Chains A and B, each alone.
Chain A
Amino acid sequence: MAKTVIPFGPQHPVLPEPLQLKLVLEDDVVVEAIPAIGYVHRGLEKLTELKDYEQSVYIVERVCGICSFMHSMAYTRGIESIMNIQIPQRAEYIRTILAEIARVQSHLLWLGLLADSFGFESLFMETWRYREDILDIMEMITGNRVIISANKVGGVTKDFTDEHIKFILDTINRLEEKIKDVENVFLNNYTVKQRLAGIGILTPEDARELGALGPIAKGSGIPLDLRTTGYSAYKYLDFEPIVDNHCDSYGRTVVRIKEIYQSFQLIRQAISKLPSGEIFIPVKGLPNGEVISRLEQPRGEAIYYIKTNGTKTLSRLKIRTPTFANIPTLLKMLPGSRLQDVPVIVLTIDPCISCTER
Chain B
Amino acid sequence: MAGISKNIMSKSPWVVHVNCNSCNGCDIEFLACLTPIYDAERLGIINVGTPKQADILVVTGSANYKNIDVLKNIYNQMPEPKVVVAVGACACTGGVFHSCYNVIGGIDEILPVDVYVPGCCPKPESIIDGLIEASRILEEKRIKIKNPDKGVAI
Contact = CB atoms under 8 A, between A and B. Distances in A.
Chain A directly contacts chain B within the complex, with at least one CB pair under 8 Å: yes
Interface of A: 10-14, 16-18, 38-44, 46-47, 50, 58-59, 62-66, 68, 109, 112, 124-125, 128-129, 131-132, 135, 144-147, 352, 354
A41 B64 contact: yes
Given A17-B19, A64-B23, A146-B121, A42 B64 contact: yes
Nearest to A145: B123
B99 A50 contact: yes
A59 B49 CA distance: 31
B100 A42 contact: yes
Contact of B64 (A14, A17, A39, A47): A39
Chain B interface size band reads: 35 or more
A59 B16 CA distance: 28
Given A41-B66, A47-B99, A146-B121, A16 B25 contact: no
A66 B24 contact: yes
B55 interface: no
B102 A11 contact: no
A147 B101 contact: no
Given A42-B103, A46-B101, A62-B97, A354 B23 contact: yes
7 closest Cβ pairs, A-B complex? A65-B25, A13-B49, A65-B24, A128-B35, A43-B102, A43-B100, A43-B101
Interface in B1-53: 16, 18-29, 31-32, 35-37, 47-51
A129 B124 CA distance: 13
A39 B29 CA distance: 19
B49 A12 contact: yes
A60 B131 CA distance: 29
Say what secondary structure dominates the interface of chain A.
loop
Given A10-B67, A16-B24, A147-B25, A43 B103 contact: yes
Given A41-B102, A62-B23, A352-B24, A146 B66 contact: no
B127 to A, nearest CB: 12
Residue from A65, A144, A147 having most chain B Cβ neighbours under 10 A: A65
B32 A128 contact: yes
B111 interface: no
B96 interface: yes
B74 interface: yes
A10 B21 contact: no
A70 to B, nearest CB: 13
A145 B32 CA distance: 11
B100 to A, nearest CB: 4
Contact of B70 (A10, A17, A50): A10
A58 B70 contact: no
